[in-house]
Structure 1
Amino acid sequence: MEKSLTPNPDNLNSIKATIEKSYTIEQAAAMNPLALAYIGDGIFSDLIRKYLLGCGHQNVNLMTKTSISYVRASAQAQIIRALLPQLSEAEERMVKRGRNTASQVPKNANPSDYRYATGFETLIGYLFLCGETERMKTLIYQSIDIINQLDVK
């Protein structure tokens, strides 16, 4: 039987409710750190792309190559190491949970950097899901500045 292309209002409402679901701090903190890192990675990558576009870049190939200098594991590890002193106890705890979670390290990544990068992404995902978007954005703005100052691009 062929699927209907006509949207089902009940299904659309369910989709909207799922996407717009809010989480308490406790619910977000209880999630699998890799699930938090998954959402954090997407958010960070998205905002880096928006930043590059806002800087006037129009060449997609150049933007892709430049974005890698911000989102690669070694850059994120440098970011989180620089941010650690200013994190709250709860934020630091999320970084440690992400950093200490067993995961498959890609062959081209330094294991320590990859773990710290996972901790950074976990923090971003946690802040996003529990509605701390202003704090999340502040840390991301600082992250961009950290990488820009290192001039490793």
Structure 2
Amino acid sequence: MSHSRPGVYFQVMMEAKDYENIDRLSPAFLAYIGDAVYELYVRTCYLLPPRKIGDYHDQVVAKVRAETQAKALQQLTPYLTTVEQDIVRRGRNAATSCPRRLKLEIYQQATSLETLIGYLYLQDTHRLNELLHTLIS
């Protein structure tokens, strides 16, 4: 995503009591949330300049496919904290089956990225934005 957009700032509104339970969420749930957050992030990055919806859609789909997500995780790995690396491991271990078109390793890496994004979206949006900005720099 090599464009001049500085990134999107995510903020989630939760009550203080809810933050205590985030670590109890399954990797599958975190990946489910992370998938939605990542797609919204990518869609927002491609808003400008205006273009045909079909072109816009093709660019977004190219960025959110599992193979591209796996590469994004590899790009982020040197910047991850120990806690974030643990979240990535949990996501990888939770992905035990995958679509036929993918190798299991690629699917696990993509799921790991989504798990990390979901976790950070709920736990630390500032850190999420730092890492997402790394992907567009």
TM-score range, shorter chain: 0.7 to 0.9
- Give the Cα separation in 2 of the matches to 1:111 and 1:117: 10
| Residue 144 (structure 1) aligned with residue 136 (structure 2) | yes
The number of residues matched between the two structures is 124
How high is the sequence identity, in percent, across the aligned residues? 33
Q: How does the TM-score come out when normalised to structure 1?
A: 0.74
* Structure 1 residue 21, shift from structure 2 partner: 3.0
The residue that corresponds to 2:94 in the other structure is 101
The residue that corresponds to 1:114 in the other structure is 107
Q: Which letter does structure 2 place at the counterpart of 1:50?
A: T
What residue ranges of structure 2 are gaps of 5+ in the alignment?
1-11
Residues 85-114 of structure 1 show CA distances to partners (whole Å, capped at 9, x for unaligned) of: 110000010011001114431112221111
The residue that corresponds to 1:6 in the other structure is none
Q: Which letter does structure 1 place at the counterpart of 2:132?
A: I
| Residue 80 (structure 1) aligned with residue 61 (structure 2) | no
Say if 2:95 and 2:111, in contact at 8 Å, map to a contact too.
no
Larger-gyration structure (1/2): 1
Residues 103-150 of structure 1 show CA distances to partners (whole Å, capped at 9, x for unaligned) of: 4311122211110010000000001112x11111121222234xxxxx
Residues 38-49 of structure 1 mapped to structure 2, 5 A cutoff: 38-49=32-43
* Structure 1 residue 27, shift from structure 2 partner: 2.2
Secondary structure of 1:75's aligned partner: helix
- Give the Cα separation in 2 of the matches to 1:102 and 1:111: 8
Q: Which moved more, 1:55-64 or 1:39-48?
A: 55-64
Residues 59-108 of structure 1 show CA distances to partners (whole Å, capped at 9, x for unaligned) of: 11111110112111111111111211110000010011001114431112
Q: Which has the higher contact order (CA 8 A, sep 6+)?
A: 2
Secondary structure of 2:46's aligned partner: helix
The residue that corresponds to 1:28 in the other structure is 22
Secondary structure of 2:51's aligned partner: coil
Q: How does the TM-score come out when normalised to structure 2?
A: 0.82
Say if 2:95 and 2:107, in contact at 8 Å, map to a contact too.
no
- Give the Cα separation in 1 of the matches to 2:135 and 2:24: 25
* Structure 1 residue 30, shift from structure 2 partner: 2.0
